[in-house]
A and B are shown apart, each in its own frame.
Chain A
């Protein structure tokens, strides 16, 4: 469209002037917003500390290698705890989120008011990060694996319920109608119509959530106590960088491993 004839030449421009001007303007506004943001952050930053960073980094690197191999004997029990936190946390969340999802889905809920309440619970649960949940729970049950498990479970609850109730709402209604038409009871309609359609989705989202929770479990110990996060935190506080690297290596392997397990299981479900 923006082809302009000038003398004998046809000029082509990618956009006409008006559009081009608008684009420049929006770029300008974006730059200003970013600039203001950066100025704000700069004001809150102690630049003396930052100027010290290169020396610090050199210091880390020299003290990071070689990693402390002996420390691994302390890491294994903590890793076992971390894996248990992720599995128990996810497990508890799955058990609770199934009834919540059924109550939250438009087509299976018992009453609109119940649905509203459940939706509010789901939103609160998933908008607040597990670290923040851990802050709260630690004050109730004290630091330790139990607090970490609860924090992971409460956060996952909302995440899982949301995906599950969306799956229930998108279910194919025709088979449900057909099962109802045979004179089946509500419980039977649930087990023959809903369960087979939903089970693979539910298992898939649960496994995916577990994969995420492994990641979260590696750090939840910083606040909640228990697991490899606790070890990491204490190593960092002691500035024992060779031990920090050992922990990070184990975290890396665990996370990559859990991704592989999760991907394998989900591939089989289709």
Chain B
């Protein structure tokens, strides 16, 4: 904004503020400061404990830098295989569940009651963290990869379901009308009108999701739901940092490989 100065008739300029009133600006600043003071009180830092822990950093890094793949090699290999198997099974089953659910969650395809039910299911599934779902399944089904598979599946269905439903709600509606006008049934409209418009996007999402499933399969073991995470948890629990270092390297490598494969395939499809 341009303002007149008292000096020699020169005009001056001031940058417009996003919040005009200086009182509100001060108020916001005070609120932020107050928050940080209040919030930081709930963080207790036990310096005595940290001092003890810091001496462990040396041992830890010493172990991480000399990773030991062999002495617990069988467990690591089993863990990796389990993670891969969980990813494959969960990702493939989820495909069959995600499509009907996403159709159900699209306002332009189904009547309102079905839409609301599907949306609520999606919302609940999505807001629960994968680890929470994992704990619940472990309690219901016992320890092991089956709980992990179901966990990943449910989580993927929520993820793909929501994104795909958004795409379905945005599809071109003229082809649908044209197909409906030929006297086609609801299923025929979906197969001939909806599916061709979303199939590429669906495949892209599915592959992206498989990538995420693999990442998540590495932590489910911590709560007993199978995969490499359990082996890592055990190794850390025994202060066996050399094995832990090896597992971390394996996880990083496999996550990178999965990411590379996933983005490579997606680039080829689109």
Do B43 and A145 have beta carbons less than 8 Å apart? yes
B76 beta carbon closer than 8 Å to chain A? no
Interface residues on B, range: 35 or more
Contact of B44 among A56, A132, A135, A145 (CB under 8 A): A145
Q: Does A136 contact B (CB under 8 A)?
A: yes
Residues in A112-157 with C-beta less than 8 Å from chain B: 123-124, 127-129, 131-132, 135-136, 139-142, 144-146, 149
Q: Which of B141-149, B166-174, B178-186, B192-200 contacts A (4 or more CB under 8 A)?
A: B141-149
B53-A142 in contact (CB<8A): yes
- Nearest-neighbor residue (CB-CB) of B129 within chain A: A219
State which residues 179-216 of A face B: CB under 8 Å. 215-216
**Which residue of A has the minimal Cβ distance to B43?**
A145
Q: Determine the residue in chain B with the shortest Cβ distance to A140.
A: B53
Contacts of A80 in B (CB 8 A): 39, 42
Alpha-carbon distance A14/B45, docked complex (angstroms):
67
Interface string of B76-99 (1 = CB under 8 A from A): 000001101110110010000000
Q: Which of A45, A77, A142 contacts B146 (CB 8 A)?
A: A45
CB-CB under 8 A from B256, the residues of chain A are 123, 127
B129 near A128: Cβ-Cβ < 8 Å: no
Q: Is A49 on the interface with B (CB-CB < 8 A)?
A: yes
User: Given contacts A34-B89, A38-B89, is CB(A139)–CB(B60) below 8 Å?
Assistant: yes
Interface contact A44-B232, CB-CB below 8 Å: no
B135 cross-chain contacts in A, Cβ below 8 A: 222, 232-233, 236
Q: A139-B56, A219-B131 are in contact. Are A127 and B252 (CB under 8 A)?
A: yes
B127 and A255 within 8 A (CB)? yes
In the complex, identify which listed stretch (B4-12, B22-30, B65-73, B214-222) lies at the interface while the others stay far away.
Answer: B214-222
Compute how far the CA of A91 lies from the CA of B78 in the bound complex, rounded to whole angstroms.
38
Bound CA span A48–B225, Å: 16
Expressed in whole angstroms, the minimum distance between the Cβ of A49 and any Cβ of chain B is 3
Chain B residues near A216: list those with CB within 8 A.
129
- Determine how close the nearest CB of chain A comes to the CB of B251; give it in whole angstroms: 6
- Verify A128–B248 contact, CB threshold 8 A: yes
Task: Decide if A248 touches B141 in the complex (CB within 8 Å).
Answer: no
Residues of A near B216 (CB, < 8 A) are: 129
Instruction: Determine the distance from Cα of A9 to Cα of B184 in the docked complex, in whole angstroms.
Output: 26
Shortest beta-carbon distance from A42 to chain B in Å? 8
Closest Cβ of chain A to B50, distance in Å, is: 5
Of A44, A57, A145, A256, which one neighbours B145 at CB under 8 angstroms? A44
Select one of B92, B140, B143 contacting A53, CB under 8 A.
B140
B97 to A: closest C-beta gap in Å: 15
Identify which of residues 38-70 in chain A touch chain B, using a CB-to-CB cut-off of 8 Å: 38, 40-42, 44-46, 49-50, 53, 56-57, 60
Is the Cβ of A136 less than 8 Å from the Cβ of B44? no
In contact, A37 and B88 (Cβ under 8 angstroms): yes
Mark B216-258 against chain A: 1 for CB-CB distance below 8 A, else 0: 1011001100100100110010010000100010011001100
Whether B252 contacts A135 by the Cβ 8 Å rule is no
User: Is B270 at the interface (CB under 8 A from chain A)?
Assistant: no
Q: Does B54 contact A (CB under 8 A)?
A: yes
Cα of A132 to Cα of B49 in the assembled complex, Å: 20
Chain A residues with CB below 8 A from B46, complex form: 141-142, 144, 146
B124, CB-defined interface residue at 8 Å: yes
Q: Are B232 and A46 in contact (CB under 8 A)?
A: no
Q: Is the CB of B124 within 8 A of A252?
A: yes
Q: Is B139 a contact of A56 with CB atoms below 8 Å?
A: yes
Q: Mark B132-166, 1 if CB is under 8 A from A, else 0.
A: 10011001111111100100000000000000000
User: Quick check: A88 and B129 within 8 Å, CB to CB?
Assistant: no
Contact A40 B232 (CB under 8 A): no
Assess whether A132 is in contact with B251, with CB atoms less than 8 Å apart.
Answer: yes
Contact A41 B215 (CB under 8 A): no
Is the beta-carbon distance between B223 and A222 smaller than 8 angstroms? yes
A241 CA to B57 CA, complexed, in Å: 39
Answer whether A222 and B131 are a contact pair too, CB < 8 Å, given A135-B232, A142-B53: yes
**With A60-B140, A248-B128, A251-B127 given, is the CB distance from A88 to B45 under 8 Å?**
no
B265 within 8 A of A: no
**Chain B CB within 8 A of A218 CB:** yes
Task: Give me the interface of A with B, judged by CB distance under 8 Å.
Answer: 30, 33-34, 36-38, 40-42, 44-46, 49-50, 53, 56-57, 60, 77, 80-81, 84, 87-88, 123-124, 127-129, 131-132, 135-136, 139-142, 144-146, 149, 215-216, 218-219, 222-223, 232-233, 236, 248, 251-252, 255-256
* New contact pairs (9) apart from A38-B89, A45-B141, A149-B43, CB-CB < 8 Å: A37-B89, A41-B85, A123-B252, A127-B251, A128-B251, A131-B219, A139-B56, A144-B44, A216-B129
Could you list some 5 contacts between A and B, CB below 8 A?
A40-B82, A50-B146, A129-B215, A142-B49, A248-B132
The 10 closest A-B pairs by CB, nearest first: A49-B142, A140-B53, A142-B49, A255-B127, A37-B85, A127-B255, A37-B88, A45-B146, A127-B252, A84-B39
